[in-house]
A and B are shown apart, each in its own frame.
Chain A
Amino acid sequence: MSAAPAADDWIVEASGLSKRFSGFAAVSDVDLQVRRHSIHALIGPNGAGKTTVFNLITKFLAPSAGRILYNGEDITGESPARVARRGIVRSFQISAIFPRMSVADNVRIALQRPLGTSFHFWKSQCTLDSLRQRVDELLDAVGLVDQREQPAAGLPYGRKRALEFATTLALQPELMLLDEPTSGLGHEDVDRIAELIRKVSANRTILMVEHNLSVVARLADTITVLARGRVLAEGPYDRISADPRVIEAYIGGADDQRA
């Protein structure tokens, strides 16, 4: 890791990233580099700024300062939808599904974008039927194919997250940002999602915020630890878990919050 890799090895290079909310610095001067085709985890105590970093990279928030390069191109000024079309697709902490649409339609809405007919208000939606096979493949991958006609709202929580995962995957993102993909899931679902993440990480880069350290240990190639909006440490799991500053931040950070 210590040898400086070639610049095109990085899919995301964020430098000097800061975000202030009326005086409060949620993220300050964060440099983050994500290696192509790796699984990179962001960890840190509550309020460390992990989700804010996510929002900054996906442009759901505009940074107060700093620059974000994606594949070497500056995306700092782009809209969230534009960034998504470049191939950076994110998930959300709370399951982001379209509750009243059927499970299949949830996935289809993502698949239809590359068809380029999304503005065609004069066409019948039957023109989307060609996507059916692909929808079923994706649903099959997350074990939802039997529920394809059900309204998404009726799924149990863990299955909603699986549906969200399938929808995100449908876009074949080059970079997938997963915001706490296993939060609120039971053991069985955690294993399932972790396995899925590993499966889809081939030929793809994944940046995830994750609280479950065993999942992080299992999956992540690189870990960045954030605390109070700053990068505290970075490296593989073994090194991070032994770092006294990280331990201090986790324990001390928890104390701070209770105070």
Chain B
Amino acid sequence: MFELIGISPTLLFGQLLIGLINGVFYAMMSLGVAIIFGMLRIGNFVHGAQYMLGAFGAWYLLHLPDFFPGLGLPSLGYWWALAIVPFFVALIGAGMERLFIRRVYDLEHAYGLLLTVGLAMVIEGLFNVAYGAGGQQYAIPDSLKGGVNLGFMFLPIYRLWVIVAGILVCFATWFVIERTKLGAYLRAATENPDLVRAFGINVPRMLMLTYAFGVGLAGLAGVMAAPIYQVSPQMGQAFIITIFAVVVIGGMGSIFGAIATGLMLGLIEGLTKVFWPQAAATVIFVIMAIVLVLRPAGLFGKETVAYHGSDISAARPGSILENGRLWLIVFAVAGTILPFFVYPVFGMKILCLALFACAYNLIFGYVGLLAFGHAAFYGASAYVAAHSAAVLGLPTELAILSGVAMATAIGALFGWLAIRRQGLYFAMITLALAQIVYFYAIQASWTHGEDGIQSVPRGRLFGLVDLNDTMNMYFFVLAVFLIGFAAIYRIVRSPFGQVLKSIRENEQRAVSLGYSTDRFKLIAFTLSAGLAGLAGGTKAIVFQIASLADLYFMTSADALLMTLIGGVGTLLGPVVGAIVVVTMQTQFATLGAWVIVVQGSTFVLCVLFLRKGIVGTFEDFLASREERRRRQAAKVEPAASAGLSAKGLHG
């Protein structure tokens, strides 16, 4: 019967089994993420790294004698790992909560996400330094070797074990949280920490234990995954994005939803592998998009209408640092001098990334939406511009414009899908949507997979100026940057920009004044995407390449990092941030694998100590100086008038 439609039962059931296994891991992981998200309001991006720690923990235990040859330690096998490692990973989680996560509970959601992104980069980077990108093998334990022949397929015992044990763990967790007193306390503590504290419960410790528990689940999943997947530093990196998508599909605040959705999506992914293998990598993200249209709150989520943007702008209205006309001139002059002091290529890299960061700042800083998928616009534009120039033979300016058009179109689509959600959800959704573009570029033929589009001709600008000349190219890029910068300045200071500002500061009030805020946000998002595309397209021409790295989520993280280092919501912040980040990347290029660790640490340090960024911190300094001067100037007069009034009273 199956042969009739050209699918062999072995293939079908084999893929369904793999799908179910993946589903169990999705369920266990998204359960942890959902618990941490629901109870702590932290988008635990480091969950993937913690899962990787679990797998490596199991591998370490197995190789104890090799690591400490002198101590005569035994090699601890799978069952030991299963008992010990989750506990240790949970302990590490508790430590991370105590040292880092705890500090951002009361801050805007953006910081929690940034912090965990940074921590993930540090952990994965360190393992990458130690073990390289290659994977380690972990053998299936003897007691679970072999399999059962079911007639239509061969079922390995280990996989059966993973499915049964994983599902049991998930439901036990669900039971504890939804049906026991401990779980009730937990849920109460997240609703109203002060009240629960009044009951005599130590809320900070409870939150720490909750985080540790979620992380422990990731560690457990890691141990169980070790014999199935390769144990490698990157094993959790892309995984976590899928998990975020699963959480979005399942719906906010639903523990059961996370479990059921995880299992279901694993199966759907398996089926997709059978019927349409090319789509398997993106099917979960596409489902997420569809669910967002049909049921914005997720399959099992409750309807929530929350008007809450994040106003984390570090700008001070009226400051000289916000005077765009002045700085446009400064940049024009400085940009003209720059190539005579530094390599023009270095300058062009800064200009491209500065424009990218400025575009990102438009949505994150000025609208308060934590977008985390701008790599899609930057990269898509790079690919389209490169393809237009290299294959279609379009002139340079049209190639870049076609890139911008593509980025704008994708931006409008993604924005339309994501705009109704806010905060962390918005970040997760944009991140997951961007992955669709990334996976598309891996598989489409015109994008040339891992190679990307290379040797893109720079061509002649308007058929006249030869851009192969480095100086010509440089000044073209400078012009593009200045146009982009001026455009953003104008957008921010337009009637439209005024409404954006009001949305950022109090969206609910903006709605009550009659503004359909979603439409404003969508337009801003689309503009931001188009400008990010301008940066990406220009970059493809300058460096004559469009590659997967442009589309990878780390590029989105770079945009965030540049904006954060410089100062969110400030005019100059993204430019300053781009200078710092590009300089750092160039300086540390010799460090090789350490670059990621350094970058991750920068993230963490910025979130902990430099939340206002360089420009924002400088702005504070200016403000306090101004205040001091005003007070000094005022000191003389009030003293005099106080004397007068005292006299008047007595007289």
Bound Cα distance A98, B514 (Å): 15
- Closest CB of chain A to B359's CB: distance in Å? 14
Whether A121 and B497, one on each chain, are in contact in the complex, defined by CB atoms closer than 8 angstroms, is yes
**Stretch of B73-81, B209-217, B339-347, B486-494 that contacts chain A:** B486-494
How many residues of chain A have a CB within 8 Å of chain B? 42
Cβ-defined contact, A90 with B493, below 8 A: no
A125 and B513 contacting across the interface, CB-CB below 8 Å: no
Chain B contacts for A125, CB-based, 8 A:
493-495, 497-498
* Alpha-carbon distance A102/B316, docked complex (angstroms): 12
A90-120 CB contacts (< 8 Å) to partner B: 90-92, 96-102, 105, 108-110, 112-113, 115, 117-120
| B197 beta carbon closer than 8 Å to chain A | no
The verdict on B278 contacting chain A, using a C-beta distance below 8 Å, is: no
> Given the interface contacts A92-B509, A120-B495, A120-B496, does A81 sit within 8 Å of B515 by beta carbon?
yes
B508 at the interface (CB under 8 A from A): yes
Indicate if B499 sits at the interface (CB-CB under 8 A).
Answer: yes
How far, in whole Å, are A79 and B593 apart by their CA atoms in the complex? Answer: 52
CB-CB nearest in chain A for B317: A100
Q: CB of B506 within 8 A of chain A?
A: yes
Docked Cα-Cα span, A110 to B517, in Å, equals: 14
Are B497 and A167 touching (Cβ within 8 A)? no
- Say yes or no: A109-B317 contact (C-beta < 8 A), given A96-B512, A120-B494, A124-B490: no
A residues near B (Cβ < 8 Å) are 22, 58, 60-61, 79-82, 84-85, 89-92, 96-102, 105, 108-110, 112-113, 115, 117-125, 127-128, 151, 167, 171
Asked if B502 and A109 make an inter-chain contact with CB atoms under 8 angstroms apart, the answer reads yes
The 4 closest A-B pairs by CB, nearest first: A84-B514, A121-B496, A96-B509, A81-B516
Question: Which residues of chain A have C-beta atoms less than 8 A from B515's C-beta?
Answer: 81, 84, 113, 118
Hey, which chain B residues are within 8 Å of A98, CB to CB? 501-502, 505-506, 509
Report yes or no: A121 in contact with B523, Cβ–Cβ below 8 A: yes
Report the separation of the CA atoms of residues A100 and B516 in the bound assembly, to the nearest whole angstrom. 21
Residues of B within 8 A of A90 (CB): 512
A118 and B495 contacting across the interface, CB-CB below 8 Å = yes
Contact check, A58 vs B512: say whether CB atoms are below 8 A apart.
Answer: yes
A76 to B431, CA, bound (A): 35
Given contacts A99-B505, A100-B317, contact A167 B513 (CB under 8 A): yes
Out of B493, B502, B512, name the residue touching A80 (CB < 8 Å). B512
The chain A residue with its CB closest to the CB of B517 is A81
- Residues of chain A within 8 A (CB-CB) of B511 are 60, 80-81, 84
Q: Which B residues lie at the A interface, using CB under 8 A?
A: 302, 305, 311, 313, 317, 490-491, 493-499, 501-502, 505-506, 508-517, 519-520, 523, 527
Can you pick out 6 interface pairs between chain A and chain B where the beta carbons lie within 8 Å of each other? A96-B512, A97-B509, A98-B505, A99-B506, A100-B317, A113-B513
Q: Which residue of B lies closest to A99 (CB)?
A: B505
Contacting pair A97 B493 (CB below 8 A) = no
Given the complex, which residues of B lie within 8 Å of A128, measured CB to CB? 495, 498
User: Shortest distance in angstroms between A65's beta carbon and chain B's nearest beta carbon?
Assistant: 16
Return B356 CB to nearest CB of chain A, in Å: 19
Q: Which A residues lie within 8 Å of B302 (CB)?
A: 22
Q: Please name the residue on chain A nearest to B513 by beta carbon.
A: A110
Are A115 and B505 interface neighbours, CB within 8 A?
no
CB proximity of A204 to chain B, nearest CB, Å: 16
Contacts of A127 in B (CB 8 A): 495
Contact yes or no, B513 A122, CB < 8 A: no
The answer to whether A171 touches B514, judged by C-beta atoms less than 8 angstroms apart, is: yes
**A125 closest partner in B (C-beta):** B493
- A84→B498 contact, CB < 8 A: no
Which residues of chain A have C-beta atoms less than 8 A from B509's C-beta? 92, 96-98
Please determine whether B514 and A81 come into contact, CB atoms closer than 8 angstroms. Answer: yes
Q: How far is the CA of A53 from the CA of B536 in the complex (A)?
A: 50
Contact across chains for A124 and B514 when beta carbons are under 8 A apart: no
Let me know if A123 and B495 touch, CB within 8 A: yes
The 8 Å CB contact of B490, one of A82, A84, A121, is A121
For A59, give the chain B residue with the smallest CB separation.
B511
Most buried by A among B501, B502, B509, B517: B509
Measured between C-beta atoms, what is the minimum distance from B59 to chain A in Å?
Answer: 46
Chain B residues with CB under 8 Å of A167's CB are: 513
Complex interface: chain B residues within 8 A of A89 (CB) = 512-514
Q: Which of B302, B501, B511 has the most CB of A within 10 A?
A: B511
Please determine whether A109 and B513 come into contact, CB atoms closer than 8 angstroms: yes
- Chain B CB within 10 Å — which of A91, A121, A151 has the most? A121
Chain B proximity of A178: nearest CB distance (Å): 12
Most chain B CB atoms below 10 A, which of A22, A84, A105, A115: A84
B-side contacts of A80, CB under 8 Å: 511-512
Question: Which residues of A lie under 8 Å from residue B513 when comparing CB positions?
Answer: 84, 89, 109-110, 113, 167, 171
Do A121 and B498 form a contact, CB below 8 Å, given A90-B512, A99-B505, A113-B514?
no
| B494 x A124 contact (CB < 8 A) | yes
For B496, give the chain A residue with the smallest CB separation.
A121
Does the CB pair B317–A82 fall under 8 Å?
no
| Also in contact, A92 and B498, with CB within 8 A (given A81-B514, A119-B523) | no
Chain A residues in 8 Å Cβ range of B491: 121-122
Contacts A109-B513, A117-B495, A121-B527 aside, 13 further interface pairs with beta carbons under 8 A come to A79-B516, A81-B511, A100-B317, A101-B505, A102-B317, A110-B513, A112-B495, A113-B513, A113-B515, A121-B491, A122-B491, A123-B495, A125-B493
If A96-B506, A98-B506, A100-B505 touch, does A123 touch B494 (CB 8 Å cutoff)?
yes
Decide: A115 near B495, CB < 8 A? Known: A84-B512, A122-B490.
Answer: yes
Q: Is the CB of B508 within 8 A of A118?
A: no
Closest chain B residue, CB of each to CB of A177: B512
B494 contact set on A, CB distance < 8 A: 120-125
Which residue among B496, B502, B513, B523 has the maximum number of chain A CB atoms within 10 Å of its CB?
Answer: B513
Chain B residues lying within 8 Å of A84, measured Cβ to Cβ, are 511-515
A27-B302 Cα distance, complex, nearest whole Å: 20
Closest to A55 in B: B305
A60 to B307, CA, bound (A): 10
B494 to chain A, nearest CB (A): 5
B502 contacts across to A, CB distance below 8 A: 98, 101, 109
Q: Which of A117, A123, A167 has the most CB of B within 10 A?
A: A123
**Please, which residue of chain B has its CB at the minimum distance from the CB of A128?**
B495
Task: Give the distance in Å from the alpha carbon of A123 to the alpha carbon of B493 in the complex.
Answer: 8
Chain B residues, Cβ within 8 Å of A110: 513
- A39: min CB distance to chain B, Å: 20
**Cα distance A85–B491 in the bound complex, in angstroms:** 24
Residues of chain B lying within 8 A (CB to CB) of residue A171: 513-514
Closest to A151 in B: B317
**B119 to A: closest C-beta gap in Å:** 31
Chain B residue nearest to A85 in the complex (CB)? B514
Q: How far is the CA of A96 from the CA of B50 in the complex (A)?
A: 42
Assembled-state Cα–Cα distance A113/B519 (Å): 14
| List of A residues within 8 angstroms of B517 by Cβ | 81
Complex Cα distance, B510 from A171, in Å, reads 12
* Residues B514 and A96 in contact, CB atoms below 8 Å apart: no
Contact A92 B495 (CB under 8 A): no
Per the bound structure, the CA–CA distance linking A81 and B520 in Å amounts to 12
Residues of B close to A99: CB separation below 8 A: 505-506
Q: Are B497 and A109 in contact (CB under 8 A)?
A: no
How far is the CB of A254 from the nearest CB of chain B, in Å? 21
Q: Which residues of chain A come closer than 8 Å to B512, judged between CB atoms?
A: 58, 60, 80, 84, 89-92, 96
